[in-house]
Amino acid sequence: MIGMNARADSRDGGKDGPLAGRRAWISGASSGIGLACARALRGAGAELVLCARRADRLQQLTVELGGAGVLALDVTDRAAVERELAGMEVDIVINNAGLALGVDKLSAGDPADWQRVIDTNVMGVLSVTRALLPGMLARGRGDVLMIGSVAGRQVYPGGGVYCASKHAVRAIYEALRLEHVGSGVRFSTVDPGMVTNTEFSNVRLRGDEARVKAVYQGVDPLQPQDVAEAVLWILTRPPHVNVGELVLWASAQASTTSVHRRPG
């Protein structure tokens, strides 16, 4: 854990909307897709518990959202996850925190990067889910939603470890749905293609602005809000409907390796 303020258990039940009275945990809420999900869910009336490592970002967000629980937590720190999430009651878990590092071929990759990607994208999802799911099962309701990726369905050169991690996320989602059928808890994965206006490519390409720009050159990629709207739609289906897997592409992207770019 990197530092935490107020243990995130203050309740604010004052908001109206389709998610009023439901409490949502969102990892990776300090930027990009997680931030957009926080805004969307709050707009729909949910109480929020926001998680990321950058507490200052989360604090700013709570002001914008008119209140939220904040937990500055590194999801790779399993002991901290277990300690801080013990006994926490939530109705919705959004496992969004994740990253890719580099675009090296496997023969040239850095094992330290591999470790961090696997620890965050796979072990982080497992640790958080293990901490929060038993309470949901005991209460007989809830939603556990992964932000996967099309990289969990296809692979591409230079993406081996990231793709492996997202394939693992999809396997975890599938196993959970099989293990807990009939429990009242729903499991979903939202798998987007390329999404801009997040820090994903800046992190992956270590701040190389020219290369980051090239990723999205001549394309209208998905926006974080597009993903958040899909998440909100899934969460607001009636209880007998479990949207399992939702793949979201930019219109200009046909696969992880096929992107139509405007010339110029």
Active site (catalytic) residues: 162
Distance, CA of 68 to chain centre: 18
Contacting ligand NDP (CB under 6 A), which of 37, 41, 48, 52? 52
| DSSP-based three-state secondary structure for 230 | helix
CA distances for 49 relative to 21, 217, 233, 242, angstroms: 13, 35, 20, 23
Contacting ligand NDP (CB under 6 A), which of 7, 11, 54, 130? 54
Decide: is 25 part of the binding site for ligand NDP (CB under 6 A): no
Contacting ligand 8X3 (CB under 6 A), which of 44, 72, 194, 230? 194
CA angle (69, 75, 81) in 5-degree steps: 70
Decide: is 124 part of the binding site for ligand 8X3 (CB under 6 A): no
CA distance 37 to 53: 17
Dihedral (CA of 4, 5, 9, 12) sign: negative
What is the nearest approach in angstroms of ligand NDP to the Cβ of residue 67?
19
- Toward ligand NDP, which CB reaches closer, 139 or 202? 202
- Toward ligand NDP, which CB reaches closer, 37 or 183? 37
Decide: is 198 part of the binding site for ligand 8X3 (CB under 6 A): no
Q: Where are the beta strands (DSSP E) in 63-222?
A: 69-72, 92-95, 142-147, 185-192
Decide: is 62 part of the binding site for ligand NDP (CB under 6 A): no
Integer-rounded Cα radius of gyration of the chain: 18
* Residue 159, binding choice from ligand 8X3, ligand NDP, none, Cβ under 5 to 8 Å by partner class: ligand 8X3
Residue 33 phi, psi (nearest 5): -65, -40
Decide: is 144 part of the binding site for ligand 8X3 (CB under 6 A): no
> Letter for the amino acid at 170?
R
Decide: is 28 part of the binding site for ligand NDP (CB under 6 A): yes
* Residue 256, binding choice from ligand 8X3, ligand NDP, none, Cβ under 5 to 8 Å by partner class: ligand 8X3
Name the segment binding ligand 8X3 (CB under 6 A); options: 43-51, 128-136, 146-154, 243-251. 146-154
Decide: is 159 part of the binding site for ligand 8X3 (CB under 6 A): yes
* Residue 99, binding choice from ligand NDP, ligand 8X3, none, Cβ under 5 to 8 Å by partner class: ligand NDP
Decide: is 147 part of the binding site for ligand 8X3 (CB under 6 A): no
Q: Where are the beta strands (DSSP E) in the chain?
A: 23-27, 47-52, 69-72, 92-95, 142-147, 185-192, 245-248, 253-255, 258-259
DSSP label of 95? E
Name the segment binding ligand NDP (CB under 6 A); options: 10-18, 190-198, 231-239, 250-258. 190-198
CA distance 206 to 263: 27
Decide: is 212 part of the binding site for ligand NDP (CB under 6 A): no
| DSSP-based three-state secondary structure for 116 | helix
Q: Please give the residue ranges that form the binding site for ligand NDP (CB under 6 A).
A: 27-28, 30-34, 52-54, 57, 74-76, 96-99, 120, 147, 149, 192, 194-195, 198-200, 203
